[in-house]
Amino acid sequence: GENVEQHPSTLSVQEGDSAVIKCTYSDSASNYFPWYKQELGKRPQLIIDIRSNVGEKKDQRIAVTLNKTAKHFSLHITETQPEDSAVYFCAAREGDTGRRALTFGSGTRLQVQP
Amino acid sequence: ETGVTQTPRHLVMGMTNKKSLKCEQHLGHNAMYWYKQSAKKPLELMFVYNFKEQTENNSVPSRFSPECPNSSHLFLHLHTLQPEDSALYLCASSQGTNGGEKLFFGSGTQLSVL
């Protein structure tokens, strides 16, 4: 089955700096890669996703890149703000012949220092 | 409010108790999920229901028993749990059933097993 590794487990940046979170996956047939943000005491919410037919997707200050050859994808947050502080989870969905539900990474706790 | 409601928000139970967690989605979605979230671990998929039929059981111990009477309601029946079962249990739903869609999470039930 799919295995998703996420690094780092914690990340502290100064307000205005960029933050990068990286994930690797094991199943080369995986084709959908979402990122979820979970603020303290709240539910996870989707912030951006990417499918295997594109290499990069951007939405304002956040972007995701995908390298299918290396089987890794990354979340990039620019001009970080204190409200970006949260736990971020990456996930991957196996291809059509595999398990269809998402496999999540272990999470990255991002702290943006004002 | 994302349209997925879970009750109770908090639950404390002894190892010999029987309790149930409830999830209801008001989004007209066709798939519902139970996830377990433990400290410093990935979100772990437990069960998937598509059109109220169970399609995945991720090797979950039989002391956890799901029930999905219709596409809008999902229950998790608990009996003879162990202290290591203490965690946040999250319900989620999605419009589609192939795993490649946005998940809408509930607020979770924080379970403590004494």
Cβ distance A43 to B106 less than 8 Å, yes or no, reads yes
pLDDT reading at B70 higher than 80? yes
* Strands of the sheet with B4-7, listed across from one edge: B4-7, B18-25, B73-79, B64-70
Residues 6 or more apart whose Cβ sits within 8 Å of residue A60: none
pLDDT at B110 (0 to 100): 96
Q: Are B47 and B57 in contact (CB under 8 A)?
A: yes
Per-residue pLDDT band for A98 (boundaries 50, 70, 90) equals low
Q: pLDDT by residue (tens digit) across A55-67?
A: 999 999 999 999 9
Per-residue pLDDT band for A97 (boundaries 50, 70, 90) equals low
Beta-sheet strands, E only, within A1-114: 4-7, 10-14, 19-25, 32-38, 45-51, 56-59, 62-67, 72-77, 86-93, 102-104, 108-113
* Residue A55: C-alpha distances to residues A31, A47, A49, A69, A103 (Å): 12, 17, 11, 11, 20
Least CB-CB distance to B56: which of A32, A44, A99? A99
Q: pLDDT by residue (tens digit) across B7-64?
A: 999 999 998 889 999 999 999 999 999 999 998 788 999 999 988 888 888 889 999 9
Least CB-CB distance to A104: which of B2, B43, B99? B43
Partners of residue B45 in chain A, C-beta under 8 Å: 101-103
Phi, psi of A107, deg, nearest 5? 95, 150
